[in-house]
């Protein structure tokens, strides 16, 4: 991850964050070895039955898009692979660790969870369609893209709630208000969490780059395609798909992102992108938002 002054300011201001759960730290340590045995990864995750249950719930969610039911952790490891299981474990654990009594309003009443899960499902669908082989990082980057908002909600309390309400939760206006109040925004706060939790650089950068900012370009991300995909998915969930004016669909007109995504794929024009993305949007809206 490229450093920035805003991240350095954020590091000094967000305060103490929850430590990474030990089981997650063990999973990351174990999976850092490319030759790790599936039985070893299974042994570590099974120490936490609740985490195991949530992992299976994510895997079997229609938002994740598995074509067969995954009934056991061992089967999940066989079908998904070690890296993909690791990514799901990390995604689940980040959200769980940041939950407290103060975040209930953000998660539920203000639709933070609904938006995050839909971006995750959208990123997974688009990544799979484009054969980007992201091994679950597409889903988890989508799920965690706004996690910096949750960090600020916990750490800045009432001050951030007022800023969030003033910005109506919408990213561009909210980012501006965050920068004015703190000197950094929620993408920087997500980068702080990623740094402290030793998240994979590819995932950390996807969180940091999910907004179009002058101080960062997609080419600088550890995995530009993952970062671009996350950005497009976030825009797509916020776009108005009832419009007939495809030029107003920001997810379809973000040329920087599509130039990265389409490097190994047939380049689509704006109308083709709109047809594809609207199809994914309708598929997601056809099922209820899952809780994990």
* Two structure tokens written together for 172: 């561009």
Whether residue 110 is predicted with pLDDT greater than 90 in this model: the reply is no
Per-residue pLDDT for 270 more than 80? Answer: yes
pLDDT above 70 (res 100) = yes
Report whether pLDDT(4) > 80: no
Q: Which residue has the tokens 């067969």?
A: 68
The domain ranges of the chain are 5-285
> Could you tell me what percent of the chain has a pLDDT over 70?
97
Counting DSSP H helices and E strands in the chain, the numbers are: 17, 0
Residue 69 has pLDDT above 80, yes or no: yes
- Report the C-alpha gap between 226 and 257 in whole angstroms: 10
CA 292 from centre of chain: 14
Which contiguous run of DSSP H or E holds residue 38? helix 38-45
**Spatial contact of 97 and 131, defined as CB atoms under 8 Å apart:** no
* Domain made up of 5-285: CATH architecture: Orthogonal Bundle (1.10)
What span, in angstroms and rounded, lies between the C-alpha atoms of 42 and 89?
Answer: 12
In which residue are the tokens 């895997």 written?
Answer: 59
Contact 249, 239 (CB under 8 A): yes
* Model pTM above 0.75: yes
pLDDT at 114 over 60: yes
How does the average pLDDT of the chain come out, rounded? 90
pLDDT tens-digit readout, 10-67: 777 787 888 889 999 999 999 999 899 999 999 999 999 999 999 999 999 988 888 8
pLDDT (tens digit, 9 = 90+) per residue, 132-176? 999 899 999 999 999 999 999 998 889 999 999 998 877 788 999
76 vs 3: CA distance, rounded Å: 36
């Amino acid at each position: 991850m490229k450093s920035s002054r805003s991240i350095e300011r954020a590091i000094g201001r967000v305060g103490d964050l929850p430590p990474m759960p030990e089981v997650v730290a063990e999973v990351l340590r174990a999976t850092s070895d490319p030759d790790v045995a599936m039985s070893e990864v299974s042994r570590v995750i099974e120490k936490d039955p609740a985490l195991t249950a949530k992992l299976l719930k994510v895997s079997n969610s229609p938002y994740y898009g598995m074509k067969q039911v995954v009934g056991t952790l061992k089967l999940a490891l066989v079908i998904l692979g070690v890296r993909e299981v690791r990514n799901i474990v990390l995604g689940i654990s980040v959200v769980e660790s940041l939950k407290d009594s103060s975040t209930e309003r953000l998660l539920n009443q203000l639709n933070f969870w609904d938006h995050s899960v839909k971006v995750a499902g959208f990123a997974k669908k688009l990544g799979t369609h484009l054969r980007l082989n992201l091994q679950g990082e597409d889903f988890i980057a989508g799920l965690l893209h706004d996690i910096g908002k949750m960090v600020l909600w916990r750490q800045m309390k009432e001050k951030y709630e007022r800023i969030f309400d003033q910005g109506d939760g919408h990213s561009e206006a909210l980012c501006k208000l965050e920068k004015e109040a703190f000197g950094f925004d929620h993408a920087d706060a997500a980068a702080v969490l990623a740094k402290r939790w030793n998240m994979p650089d590819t995932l950390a950068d996807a969180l940091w780059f999910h907004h179009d900012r002058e101080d960062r370009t997609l080419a600088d991300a550890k995995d530009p395609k993952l970062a671009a995909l996350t950005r497009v998915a976030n825009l797509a969930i916020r776009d108005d798909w009832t419009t007939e004016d495809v030029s107003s669909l920001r997810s379809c007109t973000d040329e920087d992102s599509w130039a990265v995504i389409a490097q190994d794929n047939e380049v689509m024009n704006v109308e083709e992108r709109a047809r594809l993305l609207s199809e994914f949007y309708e598929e997601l809206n056809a099922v209820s938002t899952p809780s994990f």
